[in-house]
Chain A
Amino acid sequence: MSILNKMFALKQFCRNKGYSTVLKRCLTLNVDTAFDNKVYRLHQIETGPSITSELEKAEALKLFKQMDMVRRTENALAGLYREKKIRGFCHLVVGQEAVCVGINSIMRPQDTIITSYRCHGWAVLRCESISGVIAELLGFQSGAARGKGGSMHIYGPQFFGGNGIVGAHVPLGVGIGLKHKYTNDGAVSVVLYGDGAANQGQVFEAFNIAKLLMLPVLFIVENNYYGLGTASHRSSANPEYYRTCSFLPGIRCSGMDILTVRESTRYGFKHILDGKGPIIVEMMTYRYFGHSMSDPGTSYRDRDEISSVRERKDAIQHMKNMLVESKLATPEEIKAIETENKKLVTAETEKAFKDKETPVEELTADCYKSFPFPMRVPKMHTWIPHKNIGKYGSVSK
């Protein structure tokens, strides 16, 4: 039986059974036309992740809710940026929601995550509150980083942040993996990076050491086809990032189907926890906005490309379709979740706005944990004593 037939048969099986408490699905959706009829592309491994996936109703609705929440928060931030309430960079993750939500759903409490500046999705999932994320971008004192970090530098429990330097966080993630192995805490370090970042030399240095030391690191390439205005085939001699390393196995999957994201992540975790060493998973996804809010994002790709992905591959719409088709949720239930999220984002935004910009007294705070001397500021002969204000050590367990 060809793979296509097999999948069709499985699909029929799922349909005929008319599941209503469990979403069981054959995985087919891909953004990459080069996939043909395959769900996964594999490098140096025989059997890939499962081609079927199951979700219980409660979990399915939770994941839908999270994806919808990430998108709504991003859209709210886009609005605030347009109103000039948010300054500087604002890299939105709209279009790529299935990646962070899917990976997050497989991670256990002990596992850690580090990602690039495109980090709002993780911030929504990991930070103490959504109002804290919004407040951070507003530059307010109640922000997750007290207004000091902004869009690119947000941290939360077991979430080591966004990083503004393309590629730099990849070795950092391997270092976090070193800690997991060193203390034998059983955790996996998940390291996300973009297709543009994938070319940085230090990424390959990190691969090498991760493999030599057999560190528990799951490398995930969030391939959205562009690094700023450069399409991946113009930036990479080999734009198939799951097979850029001769000694690390790899998987390529759709990043627009939360089920393939989950199955690939699950496979990666198992591979690592079985002691087989680090592995690369490449998730094919797409960003709808420009690189950052002020990039129209249309000079290097045409509008048709963006709208066709939106119409045909959208991760959230796909999830909704799956929920309804499998009779796991009614359109009304979905609508109710959306309404609830909408209210929540409005409430969290209002809550964020109750606060104000971080006061000047915090200027020199938290530059060190301890420092013996006051710190110099622009005013002539003026030094401000050093102090700590933030929640010391509240990221690492």
Chain B
Amino acid sequence: MASRGTITMKNMTTLGKVLSRRNFSTSKALGAKQLTVRDALNSAIDEEMERDERVFVMGEEVAQYDGAYKVTRGLWKKYGDKRVIDTPITEMGFTGIATGAAMAGLRPICEFMTFNFAMQAIDQIINSAAKTFYMSAGRVNVPIVFRGPNGAAAGVAAQHSQCYGAWYAHCPGLKVISPYTSEDHKGLLKAAIRDPDPVVFLENELLYGVAYPMSDEALGTDYLLPIGKAKVERPGKHVTIVAHSKAVETSLEAAKTLAGKGIEAEVINLRSLRPLDFETIIKSVVKTNHLISVEQGWPSCGIGAEILARLMESEVFYHLDQPAVRITGADIPMPYTKSLEAAALPRPEDVVEAVKKILKVK
């Protein structure tokens, strides 16, 4: 498990270089420092632990092993047993314990080795963490962050490759974040830790080792990003592509290919799935008159389904020149073998093809 982190890191160094080079040319922060998503998360946690005594980390292998994916590296050495707590493999129990501690006023960061294992504890996340503020009519808040890798990793098959974005975004009482770049991860995790409500923070294992530019501001200890605000990752005028997490990368790659064909795609990085920044989507669609959503999760009742439904319900519907389209993961559990795994996830060419179809270009 942890070990996979190591391989990923190795594979990612090369990919990281490719990606950062691309970002380099499109980013405003020319010459900015590069930071991996893993290090961005680590510094977010470290800074918030430094800032607030009440913040602590709890989860499997987070302390002595430095985190299964090394996100908490060095924190146990720095903060000790009291604030970085290794738990047994008992998700239901430690999630409930972390939630109780939050109710009582601490600020737990509850790490899941991956979100697949949070399914063991989903009752505590929803029935205890998400609903208590409402059930107590605002008397008991639950300031907790549930975080860990979400979605498909590589070659780990059905039980270890699933996107929970739509699952948690479905639930009132939760805030749900699905970041993409290092700045996203740092600014939003810090905001999540300081947030008075329960936040589900969905990372992606395949992004941990990827380096993205960090602005000077983002390197500072007071860098916060607003929860519920999307980011236009690439401006364009012909079509709006809305995505979250790793699918933003897919969309940006597609946008690059499309640019070579004279099509300017606007790529929106949602950052937050609940609250969902529909304003930014509206603004874009009014300009482009076309929308495609891209996600790695399943199609039924997914994030794309939600966005398309909201479009249907709004006046912006009349701005669409063509029906909006969802590009999603295949409607099946994730297969192990590479040939099928690749076919089960949206690829840049799927997005390119869809854009060309709705824009009716060859």
Do these two chains really belong together in a complex? Answer: yes
A191 at interface by CB-CB < 8 Å: no
With both chains docked as a complex, state the minimum distance between the C-beta of A169 and any C-beta of chain B, in angstroms.
Answer: 11
With both chains docked as a complex, state the minimum distance between the C-beta of A88 and any C-beta of chain B, in angstroms.
Answer: 3
With both chains docked as a complex, state the minimum distance between the C-beta of A156 and any C-beta of chain B, in angstroms.
Answer: 17
* Docked-complex contact B2 and A236, CB < 8 angstroms: no
* Docked-complex contact A294 and B158, CB < 8 angstroms: no
Contact among A165, A228, A377 for B343, CB-based, below 8 A:
A377
Distance, CA A197 to CA B333, complexed state (A): 24
Distance, CA A379 to CA B88, complexed state (A): 42
* Docked-complex contact A229 and B2, CB < 8 angstroms: yes
List, in ascending order, chain A residues with CB within 8 A of B117's CB: 165-166
Instruction: Tell me which of B40-48, B89-97, B135-143, B212-220 binds A.
Output: B89-97
Instruction: Tell me which of B57-65, B164-172, B196-204 binds A.
Output: B57-65
B361 at interface by CB-CB < 8 Å: no
Contact among B61, B160, B299, B336 for A230, CB-based, below 8 A:
B61
Q: Map CB proximity to B onto A279-294 as digits: 1 under 8 Å, 0 otherwise.
A: 0000000000011111
Q: Map CB proximity to A onto B320-353 as digits: 1 under 8 Å, 0 otherwise.
A: 0000010111111101111110011111001001
List, in ascending order, chain A residues with CB within 8 A of B92's CB: 201
Q: Map CB proximity to A onto B12-37 as digits: 1 under 8 Å, 0 otherwise.
A: 00000000000000000000000000
Distance, CA A229 to CA B339, complexed state (A): 32
With both chains docked as a complex, state the minimum distance between the C-beta of A115 and any C-beta of chain B, in angstroms.
Answer: 14
* Docked-complex contact A377 and B4, CB < 8 angstroms: no
List, in ascending order, chain A residues with CB within 8 A of B155's CB: 87-89, 139, 150
List, in ascending order, chain B residues with CB within 8 A of A378's CB: 327-330, 343-347, 350
A window 329-362: CB within 8 A of B: 357-360, 362
* Docked-complex contact A363 and B89, CB < 8 angstroms: no
Minimum CB distance partner of A296 in chain B: B3
List, in ascending order, chain B residues with CB within 8 A of A236's CB: 88
B106 at interface by CB-CB < 8 Å: no
List, in ascending order, chain A residues with CB within 8 A of B160's CB: 88-89, 152, 164
With both chains docked as a complex, state the minimum distance between the C-beta of B344 and any C-beta of chain A, in angstroms.
Answer: 7
Minimum CB distance partner of B330 in chain A: A377
Interface of A is mostly: loop
A167 at interface by CB-CB < 8 Å: yes
Distance, CA A250 to CA B156, complexed state (A): 35
A227 at interface by CB-CB < 8 Å: yes
* Docked-complex contact B1 and A153, CB < 8 angstroms: no
Distance, CA A86 to CA B147, complexed state (A): 29
A276 at interface by CB-CB < 8 Å: no
Distance, CA A28 to CA B354, complexed state (A): 69
A window 199-231: CB within 8 A of B: 199-202, 227-230
Distance, CA A378 to CA B1, complexed state (A): 28
Distance, CA A154 to CA B83, complexed state (A): 40
Distance, CA A168 to CA B159, complexed state (A): 11
List, in ascending order, chain B residues with CB within 8 A of A292's CB: 1, 3-4
* Docked-complex contact A164 and B90, CB < 8 angstroms: no
B6 at interface by CB-CB < 8 Å: yes
B153 at interface by CB-CB < 8 Å: yes
A132 at interface by CB-CB < 8 Å: no
**Given A199-B88, A378-B327: A291 and B3 within 8 A (CB)?**
yes
Distance, CA A384 to CA B354, complexed state (A): 17
B window 85-122: CB within 8 A of A: 86, 88-90, 92-93, 116-117, 119-120
Q: Map CB proximity to B onto A352-392 as digits: 1 under 8 Å, 0 otherwise.
A: 00000111101110010000000111111100000000000
* Docked-complex contact A357 and B339, CB < 8 angstroms: yes
Distance, CA A360 to CA B327, complexed state (A): 18
List, in ascending order, chain B residues with CB within 8 A of A139's CB: 155, 336-339
**Residue from A140, A197, A200, A290 having most chain B Cβ neighbours under 10 A:** A200
List, in ascending order, chain B residues with CB within 8 A of A367's CB: 331-333
Minimum CB distance partner of B2 in chain A: A295
Contact among B86, B93, B344, B353 for A363, CB-based, below 8 A:
B344
* Docked-complex contact A364 and B332, CB < 8 angstroms: yes
* Docked-complex contact B325 and A380, CB < 8 angstroms: yes
A95 at interface by CB-CB < 8 Å: no
**Residue from A147, A168, A199, A362 having most chain B Cβ neighbours under 10 A:** A147
Distance, CA A359 to CA B353, complexed state (A): 22
List, in ascending order, chain A residues with CB within 8 A of B231's CB: none
B68 at interface by CB-CB < 8 Å: yes
List, in ascending order, chain B residues with CB within 8 A of A380's CB: 325, 327, 350, 353-354, 357
A234 at interface by CB-CB < 8 Å: yes
Distance, CA A230 to CA B66, complexed state (A): 12
Minimum CB distance partner of B92 in chain A: A201
Contact among A89, A163, A202, A235 for B156, CB-based, below 8 A:
A89
With both chains docked as a complex, state the minimum distance between the C-beta of A221 and any C-beta of chain B, in angstroms.
Answer: 14
Distance, CA A370 to CA B211, complexed state (A): 45
Contact among A200, A202, A295, A377 for B1, CB-based, below 8 A:
A295
**Given A228-B68, A294-B7: A147 and B336 within 8 A (CB)?**
yes
* Docked-complex contact B1 and A228, CB < 8 angstroms: yes
* Docked-complex contact B336 and A200, CB < 8 angstroms: no
* Docked-complex contact B65 and A228, CB < 8 angstroms: yes
List, in ascending order, chain B residues with CB within 8 A of A357's CB: 337-340
List, in ascending order, chain B residues with CB within 8 A of A358's CB: 335, 337, 339-340
With both chains docked as a complex, state the minimum distance between the C-beta of B121 and any C-beta of chain A, in angstroms.
Answer: 10
A299 at interface by CB-CB < 8 Å: yes
* Docked-complex contact B337 and A140, CB < 8 angstroms: yes
**Given A230-B65, A364-B330, A380-B357: A148 and B3 within 8 A (CB)?**
no
List 10 additional contacts besides A294-B4, A378-B327; criterion CB under 8 Å: A88-B155, A139-B339, A149-B336, A165-B116, A165-B119, A200-B120, A229-B61, A230-B61, A378-B345, A379-B353
| Residues of A near any B CB (own CB < 8 A) | 87-89, 139-140, 143, 145, 147-153, 163-168, 196-197, 199-202, 227-230, 234-236, 290-296, 299-300, 357-360, 362-364, 367, 375-381
Rank and list the top 5 A-B pairs by shortest CB-CB distance, nearest first: A87-B155, A139-B337, A88-B155, A150-B336, A294-B3
- Mind listing 20 A-B residue pairs with CB under 8 Å? A87-B336, A88-B154, A143-B337, A164-B156, A165-B119, A167-B120, A197-B89, A199-B88, A200-B120, A228-B61, A228-B65, A234-B86, A236-B88, A295-B1, A296-B3, A364-B330, A364-B332, A376-B299, A376-B328, A376-B330
| Residues of B near any A CB (own CB < 8 A) | 1-4, 6-7, 60-61, 64-65, 68, 86, 88-90, 92-93, 116-117, 119-120, 153-160, 299, 325, 327-333, 335-340, 343-347, 350, 353-354, 357
